[in-house]
Amino acid sequence: MILKGNQRAGGGQLAAHLTNILDNEHVAVHELRGFMADDLHGALNEAYAISRGTKCRQFLFSVSLNPPETENVPVDVFEAAIADIEEKLSLTDQPRAIVFHEKEGRRHAHCVWSRINVDEMKAINLPHYKLKLRDISRGLYLQHQWKMPRGLANSEERDPLNFSLEEWQQAKRLKVDPRKIKEAMQDAWAMSDSVSAFANALRELGFWLARGDRRGHVAVDINGNVFAIARSVGVRARDIRARLGEADTLPSVEETRSVIHEAVANKLNTFVEMEHHKVKMVDEVFQLKRRKLVDRQRQIRQEASDALTQRRTAENKQRTARLPTGLKALWFRATGKYRNMKKQIELEAMRCDLRDRVEMARLVQQQLTERRRLKCRHVSERSSYTMQLSDLFDEVAQHQSMGDPNPKQARSTAGKRKLPQKRSRSP
């Protein structure tokens, strides 16, 4: 399961987020350990009250545990993972709260620890906690034989621009629910305590932090759409500025769009090259299959021709053997029977020849049907890639217009695309 943790303050805000029943189908406080209070708000406020006796500001450590969507993970697996986190981060016996969320048929958990050691009245240091959580997460995937995400197996692949063509097309088909965008930004805000942390959290979600037209903080998505941070997070603008500082140091929306345009256009151009390569591979595979099919059909046809020849020869010998010889032949010729028998044999030979031609024609028709099916499959596969290429060219044109000061000229230039030529040569 994916583990994401952060040190933070704001116990009341976190409690409100974890008990939000509007954006979650089911919310259950699974455990409150080491607190006098019997509810989540009281427990986290209690942790805050104890932290006032220290100089620690980020007195909480929060971890989200997200198992694979297709797996049914029992509670004891979550508890074992939380115990492993406690051991690796030296949080054993610290007060903690465990909350389960269920949404859209998927269950995940949140665990919040108090970092304050009441015996020494100081915060527990958590060095390299992100790397430790990553190692625990990898171990869970290996232990339970879950399919490990590429970004977890290789940290370099966590770039939000590292999407596949299928993911890009899926995102285009499935219009992203604004509630999901708002929820994602709220999660990023809840786990961030500085402008750099918030910007990094947004980047993992596919958003770029920028300066709006009114000097406010906004987020720009991969398609150039702008979202106001204050409205999306549900926090007042002055609270945004208090945590993130003034937006003057951030790039403008147009500058951010230009950066996104360049990165996405390069990615889409890579997809175009991939689709061209796929078309080439489809043609090569078709030619290979066609050659194999033709060779096999030639062999079958030669074998059928040889079999027909042998049968024709054998039948001719049988018919010839029926003709009389010697004195009997002279008698048959004299009486006219020889002529009649010869005509009958010739008619039988014609019927056998017609039968042979029908059989060969049937075989040829079967082989033609095979090749036509192969050709139809090739045309269908090739046309699907050609349509994808056309869509990709349109996407490139759209992102060119997003980064070009003259969008009409960009669209007209990008619209002149060259699709792969369809081969007309028959099998």
CATH number at residue 138: 3.30.930
Burial of 416 (0-12, 13-18, 19+ CB in 10 A): exposed
The beta strands (E) that lie in 278-414 are given as none
Please give the residue range of the domain that contains residue 292. 259-414
DSSP one-letter code for 177: P
Closest CA to 149 of 268, 67, 84, 79: 67
Burial of 351 (0-12, 13-18, 19+ CB in 10 A): exposed
CA distance 368 to 360: 12
Task: Report the number of secondary-structure helices (H) and strands (E) in the chain.
Answer: 14, 10
| Residue 348 belongs to a domain | yes
Q: What is the b/e burial string over 381-391, where b = at least 16 CB atoms within 10 angstroms of the residue's CB?
A: bbeebbebbeb
What confidence score (pLDDT) does residue 406 get? 47
User: Facing residues of 123 across strands?
Assistant: 116
Both structure tokens of 195:
């402008």
Quick one: 197 and 247 in the same domain? yes
Amino acid at 357: R
CA distance 426 to 424: 6
Closest CA to 219 of 190, 249, 182, 193: 182
- All residue ranges of the chain with pLDDT < 70 are 104-105, 150-180, 215, 265, 267-269, 271-272, 275, 384-427
For residues 161 and 267, the answer to whether their CB atoms sit within 8 Å is: yes
Both structure tokens of 208:
């770029």
| Residue 26 belongs to a domain | yes
Quick one: 49 and 182 in the same domain? no
What φ, ψ does residue 333 adopt, rounded to 5°? -70, -40
CA distance 187 to 174: 22
CA distance 23 to 305: 74
| Residue 419 belongs to a domain | no
Quick one: 150 and 12 in the same domain? yes
Quick one: 37 and 96 in the same domain? yes
Quick one: 149 and 78 in the same domain? yes
395: number of CA atoms within 13 Å, CB side? 23
| Residue 422 belongs to a domain | no
* Structural domains counted in the chain: 3
| Residue 420 belongs to a domain | no
- Choosing from 227, 251, 275, the residue where a domain stops is 251
Both structure tokens of 41:
């708000």
Both structure tokens of 185:
């930004």
CA distance 217 to 244: 9
| Residue 150 belongs to a domain | yes
DSSP one-letter code for 38: S
- Choosing from 189, 222, 251, the residue where a domain stops is 251
Quick one: 51 and 167 in the same domain? no
Quick one: 243 and 307 in the same domain? no
CA distance 190 to 62: 10
CA distance 243 to 206: 21
For residues 107 and 100, the answer to whether their CB atoms sit within 8 Å is: yes
The beta strands (E) that lie in 216-349 are given as 217-221, 226-228
Quick one: 200 and 348 in the same domain? no
Question: What pTM was estimated for this model as a whole?
Answer: 0.42
CA end-to-end span of the chain: 51
What confidence score (pLDDT) does residue 414 get? 39
Quick one: 167 and 98 in the same domain? no
Amino acid at 388: Q
- Choosing from 133, 158, 183, the residue where a domain stops is 158
| Residue 1 belongs to a domain | yes
Both structure tokens of 297:
């059909």
Closest CA to 275 of 416, 108, 417: 417
Quick one: 185 and 197 in the same domain? yes
CA distance 194 to 220: 18
Amino acid at 218: V
Quick one: 237 and 301 in the same domain? no
Quick one: 109 and 66 in the same domain? yes
CA distance 84 to 250: 39
| Residue 92 belongs to a domain | yes
